[in-house]
Structures are given as structure tokens and as C-alpha cells.
Chain A
Amino acid sequence: MSLYQPHLMTIEAIQDETPDTRTLRLTFRDPALADSFSFKAGQFGEYSVFGAGECTFCIASPPTRRGYIECSFKAVGKVTRALRELEVGEIVGFRGPYGNAFPVDDWSGRRVLFVAGGIGLAPVRCVLWNVLDLRDRFDEVTLVYGARTVADLVYKRELAEWRDRPDVRLVTTVDPGGEEPGWDGEVGFVPAVLERAAPTGENAVAVVCGPPIMIKHTLPVLGRLGFPPDRIFTTLENRMKCGVGKCGRCNVGPVYVCKDGPVFTAAELAALPAEY
């Protein structure tokens, strides 16, 4: 079987997150693979809709939950729209896991701060659950999450669950004008809300995922809060085709994002040309 031939997976469950974002739970058709498959938080895969093509998503479920994987995606183009047409029980393809991962094992004993915007919560959710499933290894856990409007917040049920947990600090926000009656979270852009929430950078790591513009304005805030650049982690989303370092599409200066990434520290990003 060649590198480019995907494994077959069944759609077990579908969850609509927002009007244009959906989460799929997938299980391997091959029982042996279902048992042996493992991955690390932050890795991604190439998901196929046969007849439409492949696209790249992170694995949004945590590696600590075995037997299935989940992906959350926004319908933006050819493959994602075709994927949205599929129903429970239908078959998709999956190649992966590919790429590097968040070094979760190195974070033992540290505070962990998550900052996410929009669908950027998908990769964050994977590490977040990974951390929560091993909760006693880590110090304080904080999530600052924002979306354009209340309707655009993804994983609403899990947000409620995290809010109720005493061992998680959750700050949610929507962009000005995105609030609605009954909204009890913050109103404002993520970087500003983060600055007000002021989690300490002392003995802490930060994971930041979201639109490029959010990441750009969040990094200086994290600096002011005392996070050194090598303890701030983010992911790049350059366009990919092969996922395995062959097709040349994901190059950013010297790195192959699909192999050397998608996880990079802010220190690594600063050394890269801004071709992302």
C-alpha cells in the first residue's frame, strides 16, 4: 500500500458546532488498526472524501481517548463542503498521524495557558483534553477563548463542562458586536481580554491557536505576561498536499511545515520568514 493510500474510516457521529463548523467522530474500519493506532497531541491528518479529494485537519480529540479520532472543520472549499454532505455511517479516508506534536510530557508541574480563536480551538481542544485527562501532572490550567460572535463559539457543551470544573479557569469572549442577550462572557478581542485576565507566565507554558492576526497580536501580550518565546507554542496552517515532506507545498523558508511542524514555538517562528 503506498504512502498516499488512506485508511478507511466510518463516520460514527456528527456534531454541528456552528452554522459552518462541524465535528466528526471517526473509527477505523480495520479492527487491528483501531487497536494499534496512536498519535500525539498537535499532529494532523489528511482526510479524504472519495471523489472530492483530501484536506488537512488537526486531530481534535485527545490521544488519551483511544478507539476513535475526531476532526472539526469549517466548510470553506471543495473537500470541506463535500465532507459536510456526508452522513453517519459513510466512509472517509484518513492518512496520518503526521507532523510533530506539543511536548506535553515536558510540561509536568507547570501552569498551562491555552489561548484560542474561532476554529483554532480544535487543535487546542486536543491538548487541553490531553492535559485534563492527566490533570494531576500539571499546575493551573487556563483557557482564554474567543470567537467573532456567540454563534461562532465551537464546542459549546465542552465549554460548559470546563466552566463547571474547579480545576480549570475559563475565560470566553466575543468580538464587540458579537454578543447577544444572556451572554455572560467577556466582550473584546482575544489579546485584550487575555491581557486583562493576566495569567502569569511564571513556570508556565502557553498554547496559542487561531487566525494569524490573533496570533500576531497575542504574542506581545504573552511576552508582557512573562512567557518566554520558547515556552509559547502555536501551529502553522500552510497549505499541504502530501503531509509527508514530498510535494513541496508547505515550505516556509527552511522548514517543511508538515514534517518540522505544524507545532512551533514563538522563538522558532521569529526565526522564520513570514511566509505563513
Chain B
Amino acid sequence: MRELRELAVRLLETSDVQVVIGWEESRRGVRPAFAQTPAEAERLVFDQRCVHNLAAYLHPRRKHIRGLGRPAVVVKGCDARAVAGLIRDNQLRREDVVLIGVRCPGVWAENKAEGQPGNRRWAERCVSCPQRTPTLCDYLIGEDSPEPSGGPGLEAQVERIQALPMAERWAFWSSAFERCVRCYACREICPLCFCERCLADKSMPQWIESSPHRRGNLAWHLARALHLAGRCVGCGECERACPAGIPLSILNARLQQSVRERFEFVVSDDPVAPSPIGEFRVDDGQEFIR
């Protein structure tokens, strides 16, 4: 904590950084904080409760954050992968942000339902996290900690669903999608959903019906998942934001598995790694592209 606060204060006082985006303590746990003065930087915290992916505040649609000036952002492994995604997709220039990497211990699953903390368990994504310590960063703070283990990981969840017979798998997903109310909270909070105008909001023609019924929801969920194939960093924010309790992380993880198998691509925090969606290759193995 000292290390984080000292660094934040130093950045605000001595460099071209106008805001440090991190976490602060609040009445109900920790939450995103925007420290614009050294005094505010003294309130920053980092621990296993810091689930939020702060890279979401960096994309161009967050005009109110861009208005604050040049940011420094505290990033965990998954957050750094999101920042890399933004840079890779030309939504952010590397030099426009200062990255404070933290050696991530993994975070607790957030229990948003009534009654709060109680049984602490690792967030599923952290149990199978590919890289907890970011390499894409200007500073690296914190200490190494043992790998989060125990409790079900996301991979295990994917395997469980994949093992079901087709009909049951379909039943699982259709009952999940049926609950969707189409608030698009999953999209708004996703650090990689940065489109100025989402396909789902286009009305001429209307590709995706906006009503939360079977047909509209299926179209939306297919589109969302496919648009994030090869880009989703597995931070689980969409699932956390979803008011309807839809296990979006399982779907995302399954898609990233496919991308890994088909394109030998793993989402990393290397901002210049060519991505399966963003790259055009004349010798592409898939026919449709030629």
C-alpha cells in the first residue's frame, strides 16, 4: 500500500499525470477511485477485493475520464491485457497512459447479492489465470504470492458444460439467455467493447432485435461473444455487471479456447502481437478470407 501511494503521489507531483485511477475504500468495500491530488492518492488501496478492471475507464467512450487529463492506471494481469487490447485496436496510444502494474495475488469472487462478504472464495477466473503479473507496465509493485487455488476454476466450468450432451448444453444456454433483460451493462463495462456505435444499436438495418425475447437475446449473445473472440481478456467484468446473473464468463472462456485451438492465439498483454481478428494474411488457413 505504501509503495502504491508513494508512487501515485510522486506521479501526480512530478510527472505529466493528472489522475491516478486505482481503488479506494468505501462504505461497502473497495471501488474505483480517481485521485487527482496527492491527498487523494493517499487514499488508494490494493488487495484481493480489487475486482474491477480499470482499463474500462480508458476507452474513448469514457469522455468524462479523458477530460481529466493524462491518467496513470493501476493494472492487474487481466487489466493489462485489456490495455494491450485497446492499444492493439488503436483506441489508446501507449504514450497517453502510465501503467502501474501490480503483482496480482488473485481477487475474491464478489458476492453482489444481499448479505455481502462472508464466504471468501477466489474468483473463478483467477484460479485459471494465465498471467497474474503484467509485463505491459511502466512500474511494477507488490509482492509475489502463491497461485490462487482451491475452488472451481473457469476452465473446470467450461469442461463441465462441454461434457454435457448437446441437448442439455442447449438447455443450459437457452435458459441463461432467456433471463437477459438487454440492458447492455455487459457491453458498457467491457474494456474491449469500445465501439462508438455498437452493432446492436444500429437500426438501419436492424441486425439485432433489441427486445429481450428468445430471438433477440440469442442474436445479441452470439454477436457479443463472437465480437470478443480473440479479444476478451477474461476479466469477468461483463458477468459481474450483469443484473440477470448470466454466466457470460463461461461462454467467453469457451470462445477463447476455440481461438487458441484454431489460430494458436492466446490473448496476452503484448500490445503489438497480431490478433486473429485484426490481422489480414494472404496465406490465411481459413478459406472464407481469400
Q: Which residues of A contact B (CB under 8 A)?
A: 77-78, 81
Q: How far is the CB of B182 from the nearest CB of chain A, in Å? A: 16
B203 at the binding interface (Cβ < 8 Å): yes
Quick check: is B204 within 8 A (CB to CB) of the other chain?
Answer: yes
A258 CB, nearest partner CB in chain B, Å: 21
Interface footprint category on B: under 10
Q: What would be 6 A-B contacts, judged by CB atoms less than 8 Å apart?
A: A77-B203, A77-B204, A78-B203, A78-B204, A78-B206, A81-B204
- In the bound assembly, the distance between CA atoms of A77 and B206 in angstroms comes to 12
Interface positions of B (Cβ within 8 A of A): 203-204, 206
Give the shortest distance, in Å, between B206 (CB) and chain A (any CB): 8
Q: List chain B residues, Cβ under 8 A from A77.
A: 203-204
Shortest C-beta distance, B255 to chain A (Å), equals 31
Contacts of B203 in A (CB 8 A): 77-78
A50 to B173, CA, bound (A): 33
| Residues in chain B near residue A81, CB distance under 8 A | 204
Contacts of B204 in A (CB 8 A): 77-78, 81
Shortest CB–CB separation between residue B225 and chain A, in angstroms? 26
Q: Would you give the shortest CB distance from B154 to chain A, in whole angstroms?
A: 38
In the complex, residue of chain B having the shortest beta-carbon distance to the beta carbon of A82: B204
A77 smallest CB distance to B (angstroms): 7
Shortest CB–CB separation between residue A261 and chain B, in angstroms?
A: 26
Closest chain A residue, CB of each to CB of B203: A78
Measured in the bound complex, the distance between the Cα atoms of B204 and A81 in whole Å is 10
In the complex the two chains form, what is the Cα distance from A81 to B203 in whole Å?
12
- Given the complex of chains A and B, what is the CA–CA distance between A228 and B69 in angstroms? 44
Report how far A78 CA is from B201 CA in the complex, Å: 12
Q: Which chain B residue has the least Cβ–Cβ distance from A78? A: B203
Which residue of chain A is the closest to B202 with respect to CB atoms? A78
A250 to B120, CA, bound (A): 45
Question: In the complex, what distance in Å separates the CA atom of A78 from the CA atom of B204?
Answer: 6
Chain A contacts of B206 at CB under 8 A? 78
CB of A53 to closest CB in B, whole Å = 8
Minimum CB–CB distance from A37 to chain B (whole Å) comes to: 31
CA distance A96 to B203 in the complex (A): 25
Q: CA–CA, A77 to B201, complex, Å?
A: 13
Closest to B206 in A: A78
6 pairs of A and B residues whose beta carbons are closest in the complex:
A78-B203, A78-B204, A81-B204, A77-B203, A77-B204, A78-B206
Q: How far is the CA of A78 from the CA of B202 in the complex (A)?
A: 10
B204 to chain A, nearest CB (A): 5
Chain B residues whose C-beta falls within 8 Å of the C-beta of A78 in the assembled complex: 203-204, 206
Minimum Cβ distance to chain A for residue B139 (Å): 42
User: Shortest Cβ distance from B197 into chain A, in angstroms?
Assistant: 13
Give Cα distance in the complex from A81 to B206, angstroms: 14
Q: How far is the CB of B161 from chain A (nearest CB, A)?
A: 38
Residue of B nearest to A81 (CB): B204
Smallest distance from the beta carbon of A78 to chain B beta carbons, Å? 4
Min Cβ gap B210→A in Å is: 11
The smallest beta-carbon distance between A229 and chain B, in angstroms, is: 33
Residue ID in chain A nearest B204 by CB atoms: A78
How far does the Cβ of B155 sit from chain A's closest Cβ, in whole Å?
A: 43
The distance in angstroms between the C-alpha atoms of A54 and B203, with both chains bound, is 13
CA distance A77 to B204 in the complex (A): 8
Distance between B198 CB and nearest chain A CB, rounded to angstroms: 16
How far apart are B143's CB and chain A's nearest CB, in angstroms? 50
